Structure 1
Amino acid sequence: MKDIEKQDKDYRYKIANREALIGVGLVIFNFIWWFVFAYGLGGKDPSDYSYVMGLPAWFFYSCVLGFIVMVILVTIAVKKWFVDIPFDEEKESE
Protein backbone atom coordinates (compact mmCIF):
# COMPACT_ATOMS: atom_id res chain seq x y z
CA MET A 1 0.00 0.00 0.00
CA LYS A 2 2.93 2.30 0.69
CA ASP A 3 4.12 1.97 -2.94
CA ILE A 4 0.75 3.19 -4.24
CA GLU A 5 0.88 6.24 -1.98
CA LYS A 6 4.43 6.91 -3.13
CA GLN A 7 3.34 6.73 -6.80
CA ASP A 8 0.58 9.25 -6.11
CA LYS A 9 3.06 11.74 -4.65
CA ASP A 10 5.92 11.21 -7.12
CA TYR A 11 5.63 13.43 -10.20
CA ARG A 12 7.87 11.08 -12.20
CA TYR A 13 5.11 8.48 -12.50
CA LYS A 14 2.83 11.00 -14.18
CA ILE A 15 5.56 11.89 -16.69
CA ALA A 16 6.37 8.21 -17.33
CA ASN A 17 2.69 7.38 -17.91
CA ARG A 18 2.28 10.27 -20.36
CA GLU A 19 5.39 9.24 -22.29
CA ALA A 20 4.22 5.61 -22.36
CA LEU A 21 0.87 6.70 -23.82
CA ILE A 22 2.69 8.72 -26.49
CA GLY A 23 4.72 5.60 -27.33
CA VAL A 24 1.61 3.43 -27.55
CA GLY A 25 -0.03 6.02 -29.79
CA LEU A 26 2.97 5.98 -32.11
CA VAL A 27 2.91 2.18 -32.27
CA ILE A 28 -0.80 2.16 -33.11
CA PHE A 29 -0.26 4.79 -35.81
CA ASN A 30 2.64 2.76 -37.24
CA PHE A 31 0.55 -0.40 -37.37
CA ILE A 32 -2.39 1.36 -39.05
CA TRP A 33 -0.02 2.99 -41.60
CA TRP A 34 1.60 -0.35 -42.39
CA PHE A 35 -1.69 -2.27 -42.56
CA VAL A 36 -3.45 0.22 -44.83
CA PHE A 37 -0.64 0.38 -47.36
CA ALA A 38 0.42 -3.29 -47.19
CA TYR A 39 -3.06 -4.74 -47.53
CA GLY A 40 -4.65 -1.84 -49.39
CA LEU A 41 -2.14 -1.77 -52.23
CA GLY A 42 -0.87 -5.34 -51.91
CA GLY A 43 -4.20 -7.08 -51.89
CA LYS A 44 -4.47 -7.39 -55.66
CA ASP A 45 -2.96 -9.62 -58.32
CA PRO A 46 0.86 -9.27 -58.46
CA SER A 47 0.74 -8.69 -62.20
CA ASP A 48 -1.21 -5.47 -61.52
CA TYR A 49 1.32 -4.03 -59.03
CA SER A 50 2.85 -0.64 -59.63
CA TYR A 51 6.47 -0.07 -58.66
CA VAL A 52 8.34 2.71 -56.89
CA MET A 53 12.14 2.68 -57.16
CA GLY A 54 12.05 -0.97 -58.21
CA LEU A 55 9.93 -2.08 -55.24
CA PRO A 56 6.23 -2.93 -55.28
CA ALA A 57 4.30 0.19 -54.28
CA TRP A 58 2.67 -1.54 -51.31
CA PHE A 59 6.08 -2.49 -49.91
CA PHE A 60 7.64 0.91 -50.58
CA TYR A 61 4.83 2.86 -48.91
CA SER A 62 4.25 0.48 -45.99
CA CYS A 63 7.84 -0.42 -45.12
CA VAL A 64 10.26 2.12 -46.60
CA LEU A 65 8.23 5.33 -46.42
CA GLY A 66 6.52 4.14 -43.24
CA PHE A 67 9.91 3.72 -41.58
CA ILE A 68 10.98 7.22 -42.60
CA VAL A 69 7.71 8.74 -41.36
CA MET A 70 8.02 6.93 -38.03
CA VAL A 71 11.62 8.05 -37.52
CA ILE A 72 10.50 11.65 -38.05
CA LEU A 73 7.48 11.29 -35.74
CA VAL A 74 9.46 9.62 -32.96
CA THR A 75 12.18 12.28 -33.21
CA ILE A 76 9.59 15.06 -32.96
CA ALA A 77 7.82 13.35 -30.04
CA VAL A 78 11.05 12.85 -28.10
CA LYS A 79 12.26 16.41 -28.66
CA LYS A 80 8.90 18.06 -27.99
CA TRP A 81 7.15 15.98 -25.28
CA PHE A 82 9.72 13.78 -23.55
CA VAL A 83 11.64 15.26 -20.62
CA ASP A 84 14.65 14.22 -18.61
CA ILE A 85 13.78 13.15 -15.11
CA PRO A 86 16.10 12.09 -12.30
CA PHE A 87 15.91 8.45 -11.25
CA ASP A 88 17.72 8.93 -7.96
CA GLU A 89 15.54 9.18 -4.88
CA GLU A 90 18.27 11.23 -3.20
CA LYS A 91 17.75 14.16 -5.53
CA GLU A 92 14.03 14.14 -4.76
CA SER A 93 14.60 14.65 -1.03
CA GLU A 94 17.12 17.50 -1.44
Structure 2
Amino acid sequence: MHMDPRFKIAHREALIGVGLAVVHFLWWFGFAYGLGSRPVEEYTYILGFPSWFFYSCIVGFILVAVTVIILAKFILKDVSFEDEGDEV
Protein backbone atom coordinates (compact mmCIF):
# COMPACT_ATOMS: atom_id res chain seq x y z
CA MET A 1 0.00 0.00 0.00
CA HIS A 2 1.34 3.41 -1.02
CA MET A 3 1.45 6.18 1.61
CA ASP A 4 0.84 9.63 0.18
CA PRO A 5 3.91 11.82 0.96
CA ARG A 6 1.58 14.74 1.71
CA PHE A 7 0.55 13.00 4.94
CA LYS A 8 4.16 13.02 6.17
CA ILE A 9 4.37 16.76 5.46
CA ALA A 10 0.99 17.37 7.11
CA HIS A 11 1.96 15.43 10.25
CA ARG A 12 5.26 17.30 10.58
CA GLU A 13 3.55 20.66 10.15
CA ALA A 14 0.81 19.70 12.61
CA LEU A 15 3.47 18.90 15.21
CA ILE A 16 5.11 22.26 14.52
CA GLY A 17 1.75 23.97 15.09
CA VAL A 18 1.08 22.09 18.32
CA GLY A 19 4.61 22.85 19.53
CA LEU A 20 4.13 26.54 18.82
CA ALA A 21 0.81 26.54 20.69
CA VAL A 22 2.41 24.83 23.71
CA VAL A 23 5.33 27.29 23.75
CA HIS A 24 2.91 30.23 23.48
CA PHE A 25 0.80 28.88 26.34
CA LEU A 26 3.88 28.37 28.54
CA TRP A 27 5.07 31.91 27.73
CA TRP A 28 1.64 33.35 28.56
CA PHE A 29 1.18 31.28 31.71
CA GLY A 30 4.70 31.98 32.99
CA PHE A 31 4.43 35.73 32.69
CA ALA A 32 0.74 36.04 33.62
CA TYR A 33 0.97 33.99 36.79
CA GLY A 34 4.65 34.57 37.50
CA LEU A 35 4.58 38.36 37.47
CA GLY A 36 0.84 38.66 38.16
CA SER A 37 0.88 36.75 41.42
CA ARG A 38 2.33 39.67 43.35
CA PRO A 39 0.13 42.14 45.25
CA VAL A 40 -1.26 44.93 43.06
CA GLU A 41 0.71 47.54 45.00
CA GLU A 42 3.97 45.94 43.78
CA TYR A 43 3.10 45.89 40.06
CA THR A 44 5.35 47.69 37.63
CA TYR A 45 3.80 49.25 34.54
CA ILE A 46 4.94 49.36 30.91
CA LEU A 47 3.07 51.75 28.57
CA GLY A 48 0.28 51.88 31.14
CA PHE A 49 -0.15 48.10 31.31
CA PRO A 50 0.90 45.93 34.25
CA SER A 51 4.17 44.23 33.34
CA TRP A 52 2.60 40.74 33.58
CA PHE A 53 -0.07 41.69 31.02
CA PHE A 54 2.39 43.48 28.75
CA TYR A 55 4.80 40.52 28.58
CA SER A 56 2.22 37.73 28.56
CA CYS A 57 -0.37 39.17 26.18
CA ILE A 58 1.22 41.91 24.08
CA VAL A 59 4.82 40.73 23.69
CA GLY A 60 3.72 37.08 23.58
CA PHE A 61 1.27 37.79 20.75
CA ILE A 62 3.85 39.73 18.76
CA LEU A 63 6.45 36.96 19.17
CA VAL A 64 4.00 34.24 18.13
CA ALA A 65 2.79 36.27 15.13
CA VAL A 66 6.38 36.84 13.96
CA THR A 67 7.20 33.16 14.53
CA VAL A 68 4.17 32.07 12.47
CA ILE A 69 5.21 34.39 9.63
CA ILE A 70 8.77 33.02 9.67
CA LEU A 71 7.53 29.42 9.80
CA ALA A 72 5.09 29.98 6.93
CA LYS A 73 7.74 31.66 4.81
CA PHE A 74 10.70 29.36 5.38
CA ILE A 75 9.65 26.05 6.99
CA LEU A 76 6.11 25.09 5.94
CA LYS A 77 5.61 23.73 2.43
CA ASP A 78 2.94 24.48 -0.14
CA VAL A 79 1.17 21.20 -0.83
CA SER A 80 -1.35 20.62 -3.61
CA PHE A 81 -4.75 19.25 -2.62
CA GLU A 82 -5.20 17.66 -6.05
CA ASP A 83 -4.71 13.90 -6.42
CA GLU A 84 -1.36 13.05 -7.99
CA GLY A 85 -3.00 10.89 -10.67
CA ASP A 86 -5.45 13.57 -11.89
CA GLU A 87 -4.64 15.16 -15.22
CA VAL A 88 -6.07 18.66 -15.63
Give the corresponding residue for 2:7. Answer: 13
1:84 equivalent to 2:85? Answer: no
Instruction: Name the aligned partner's letter for residue 37 of structure 2.
Output: G
1:53-88 C-alpha deviation (Å, 9 max, x unpaired): 000000000000000000111111111111111111
Report what 1:63 is aligned to: 57
- Give the gaps of 5 or more residues in structure 2: none
In structure 1, the partner of 2:17 is: 23
Aligned to 1:49: 43
In structure 2, distance between residues paired with 1:35 and 1:43: 11
Q: Distance in 2 between matches of 1:76 and 1:86?
A: 21
Select the structure that is richer in helix: 1
Percent identical: 51
Aligned residue pairs: how many?
86
TM-score, length basis structure 2:
0.93
Which structure 1 residue ranges, 4+ long, deviate > 6 Å from structure 2? none
The gaps in structure 1 that reach 5 residues or longer are none
Q: Give the TM-score taking structure 1 as reference length.
A: 0.87
Q: Which amino acid aligns with 2:42?
A: D
**Offset of residue 14 of structure 1:** 0.3
